[in-house]
């Protein structure tokens, strides 16, 4: 699609979700204790998903 100023239009792919998941688990374990992320995922999956989504929304596009 041509742009009015003649510049190029680039598509940016979202970051790899698996890599972001690994970063989230690593960061969470460092903030609390080793195994915390896995324990949270098992004991309260809804809270884990909320925290992971917040992480993705905060950091996903800053890393592109």
**Number of residues in the chain:** 64
- Find out whether 62 and 14 touch, Cβ atoms under 8 Å: no
Q: What are the residue ranges spanned by the domains of the chain?
A: 17-59
The pLDDT, as a whole number, for residue 1 is 45
Tell me the per-residue pLDDT of 1-38, one tens digit each, with 9 for 90 and over: 454 545 544 444 455 778 899 999 999 999 999 999 99
Rounded to whole angstroms, how far apart are CA atoms 40 and 48? 6
């Amino acid at each position: 699609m041509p742009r009015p100023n003649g510049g190029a239009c680039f598509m940016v792919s979202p970051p790899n979700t698996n890599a972001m998941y690994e970063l989230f688990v690593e960061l969470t374990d460092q903030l609390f204790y080793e195994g915390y992320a896995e324990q949270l995922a098992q004991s309260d999956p809804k809270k884990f998903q909320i925290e992971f989504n917040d992480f993705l929304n905060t950091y996903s596009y800053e890393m592109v």
